[in-house]
A and B are shown apart, each in its own frame.
Chain A
């Protein structure tokens, strides 16, 4: 049952990912990308990581997609049908093929051993994924967490300076 569900989600993910690069209208590509993000969120749920799934939907499918759609509308990309893009397709296919080959070799040749830390799958299920992430973030990684807020502050100032006509 779970395998079947995984296969269905994978099929939807692959089809929507192909649509992202084949759609003529960039807005349609963006909508397909949202579907791909939702499929990734489903994978996170299946891997017992509901917090990451929620972040995936909220930040990627929500906020980042708004930014991408606004970028498309800002640049005013016209739907071009006539221009020949064959040299790009050939180059892209070659790069894509070798990347796939590389990934396939790594996946099939090496035996990836999961690191044996104190947090096994059972402990994560027992104590809760969000709680464990939070505990690490607010105690062990206290300084990086606080620095994140400064990073966001820099981004806020940068956005205002770049996009505002009169500061």
Chain B
């Protein structure tokens, strides 16, 4: 039963392996010539200003929050898609109401300009 998930396990192993091999090989065979300029953090070619840890704008947070809410909406679509033929018209109307209510939310977000970057 778990055999069906073997490809996913292989994918995870290859992904972790690729990262590890890249790091280990570059530290083993890569040249190590350090200078002050080379070790300074890269800021698009300018002189580094301040620390790397800066406070981010709340605008990012709003986008992340909206992403989660519509992500949860998408999760409900998966079991519905599997049962689509069995539920028939009933399921279509049911999901239609669900989507329409959330579409109202989408229009609200759009009209309030929450997707604008001001």
Q: Are B105 and A156 in contact (CB under 8 A)?
A: yes
Q: Are A164 and B112 in contact (CB under 8 A)?
A: yes
Within 8 A of A (CB), among B58-117: 58-62, 64-69, 71-76, 78-80, 82-83, 86-87, 91, 94, 97-99, 101-102, 104-106, 108-109, 112-114
Within 8 A of B (CB), among A1-35: 2, 5
Residues from chain A with a CB closer than 8 A to the CB of B98 are 145-146, 148-149
Of the listed stretches A90-98, A103-111, A133-141, chain B binds: A133-141
- Which residue, A125, A142, A160, has most C-beta atoms of chain B within 10 A? A160
Residues from chain B with a CB closer than 8 A to the CB of A73 are 55-56, 60
B46, CB-defined interface residue at 8 Å:
no
Q: Are A45 and B5 in contact (CB under 8 A)?
A: yes
Residues from chain A with a CB closer than 8 A to the CB of B83 are 131, 134-135, 138
Minimum Cβ distance to chain B for residue A65 (Å): 10
Q: Are A2 and B2 in contact (CB under 8 A)?
A: yes
Q: Report if A159-B71 is in contact (Cβ < 8 Å); known contacts: A76-B53, A134-B79, A142-B94.
A: no
A113, CB-defined interface residue at 8 Å:
no
Q: Are A153 and B101 in contact (CB under 8 A)?
A: yes
Residues from chain A with a CB closer than 8 A to the CB of B75 are 55, 58-59
Tally of contacts, chain A with chain B, CB under 8 A: 129
Q: Are A156 and B82 in contact (CB under 8 A)?
A: no
A64, CB-defined interface residue at 8 Å:
yes
Q: Are B2 and A63 in contact (CB under 8 A)?
A: no
Within 8 A of B (CB), among A37-80: 45-46, 48, 51, 54-55, 58-59, 62-64, 66-67, 70-71, 73-76, 78
23 interchain pairs (CB within 8 A)?
A2-B2, A5-B2, A45-B5, A58-B71, A59-B75, A63-B67, A66-B67, A67-B61, A70-B61, A130-B78, A137-B79, A138-B79, A148-B98, A149-B73, A149-B98, A149-B101, A149-B102, A152-B102, A152-B105, A153-B101, A156-B102, A159-B66, A163-B65
Starting from the known contacts A62-B71, A149-B99, A160-B114, 19 additional A-B residue pairs (CB-CB under 8 Å) come to A2-B2, A46-B2, A55-B75, A59-B72, A66-B67, A67-B68, A70-B61, A73-B56, A74-B56, A130-B82, A131-B83, A133-B79, A137-B79, A149-B102, A152-B105, A153-B104, A156-B106, A163-B59, A167-B112
Contacts from B to A (Cβ < 8 Å): 1-2, 5, 53-56, 58-62, 64-69, 71-76, 78-80, 82-83, 86-87, 91, 94, 97-99, 101-102, 104-106, 108-109, 112-114
